[in-house]
Structure formats: C-alpha cells, structure tokens
C-alpha cells in the first residue's frame, strides 16, 4: 500500500473518530474496512459488547479487515492499524496479519500451540487452512491463508 493509501486511511479514521468514541460507551469498537487497489478506503464502525475480533483478507485487488479500535488516541490507532494491514506483528504477538513460514503445524508448536485439528479448504487458486488449537488452556479457532508454498498468513484468531 502506498503513501496515498496511508493518507486516505488516516483521513477516514478521522471521519469515524466520533463513532469510535461513542462505541466505547457500549463495548469494544471495531473498524470494518475495505481498501481498493486504487487507494480508495471505506471504513465503518461496529461495536461488540465484550468480544475482540480481528481478521485480514486479501482478495484480488482488495483488502478487507476488521480491527479492534481499543486505542483512544487516533494517531496511535492509525499506526497500530497500519502495522496490522502491513502484516507486521505487534511486539511479537500472534495476531491476524502475522506471516508464518515452514510447516504450519510445527510453526504453531513453536508459538506454544497444541494442534488438535487441521482442515485444508481449496478456494479458487489458493487454500484456506482451518486449525483448532489449544494454548495455555484456552482453545482457539485459527484461519490461515496459504500465500505460497510453505508460507501462511493468519487471517482470523478466535477464542472458543
């Protein structure tokens, strides 16, 4: 994503700033967005009462995402969201957008997960991988997209 897209994202975050602030009264506000290849950005805000969700999906010339807007400072929120969209992890955290290389099951074990089940779903030219795993006594449903041979991106992580 280029500089123009960054500017547009920052501008659109400013437009939904009041909705995000209002959302804190009812739960955890989340930014729902779509970014087109031409740099167009579309954002809206949804609120989950007590849940925190995030996902990142790259499809053709678009990026779709859901990201918790837990940061009240707009500039910090922008930088955290930008890092998330760029696939860079935050402080080594295992969060959607994280890229994993190698054998997926082994990579998850290195992250501290015990893998219970893996299912590969073909999707057009690519593959999605559903994983049930346990870490520190908590069960997770994980969704990965295979982006190349031996390379995966975490799209969604949900505590069960």
CA-CA-CA-CA dihedral for 32, 35, 36, 39, to nearest 10? 140
Could you tell me the pTM of the whole model? 0.60
Segment 121-142, tens digit of pLDDT: 988 778 999 999 999 999 999 9
The tokens of 19 are what?
């909705």
Using the 8-state DSSP alphabet, how is residue 27 labeled? Answer: S
What structural domains does the chain harbor? 3-86 (no CATH), 98-159 (3.10.450.630)
How many whole angstroms from its chain centre is CA 119?
20
Residue 155: how many other CB atoms lie within 10 Å: 21
Q: Is it the case that residue 151 has pLDDT exceeding 80?
A: yes
How many whole angstroms from its chain centre is CA 60?
17
Alpha helix ranges (H) inside 16-147: 17-23, 74-85, 104-110
Most confident of 4-8, 29-33, 124-128: 29-33
Region 114-121: mean pLDDT is 95
Residue 112: how many other CB atoms lie within 10 Å: 11
pLDDT value for 159: 87
Of the chain, the percentage scoring pLDDT greater than 70 comes to 95
Residue 74 pLDDT grade (very low, low, confident, very high; cuts 50, 70, 90): confident
Segment 89-98, tens digit of pLDDT: 555 567 787 8
* Strands 138-148 and 126-135, bridge-based pairing: antiparallel
Distances (CA, A) of 40 to 7, 75, 148: 10, 20, 27
**Least confident residue range of 6-10, 29-33, 71-75, 134-138:** 71-75
């Amino acid at each position: 994503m280029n500089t123009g897209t960054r500017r547009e994202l920052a501008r659109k975050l400013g437009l939904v700033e009041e909705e995000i602030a209002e959302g804190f009264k009812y739960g955890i506000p989340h930014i729902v967005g779509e970014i087109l290849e031409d740099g167009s950005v579309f954002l809206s805000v949804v609120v989950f009462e007590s849940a925190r969700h995030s996902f990142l999906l790259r499809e053709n010339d678009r990026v779709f995402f859901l990201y918790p807007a837990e940061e009240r400072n707009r500039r910090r929120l922008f930088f955290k969201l930008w890092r998330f969209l760029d696939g860079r992890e935050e402080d080594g955290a295992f969060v959607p957008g994280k890229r994993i290389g190698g054998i997926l099951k082994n990579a998850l074990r290195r992250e501290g997960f015990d893998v219970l089940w893996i299912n590969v779903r073909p999707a057009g030219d690519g593959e999605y991988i559903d994983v049930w795993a346990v870490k520190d006594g908590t069960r997770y449903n994980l969704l990965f997209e295979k982006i190349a041979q031996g390379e995966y991106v975490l799209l969604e992580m949900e505590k069960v």
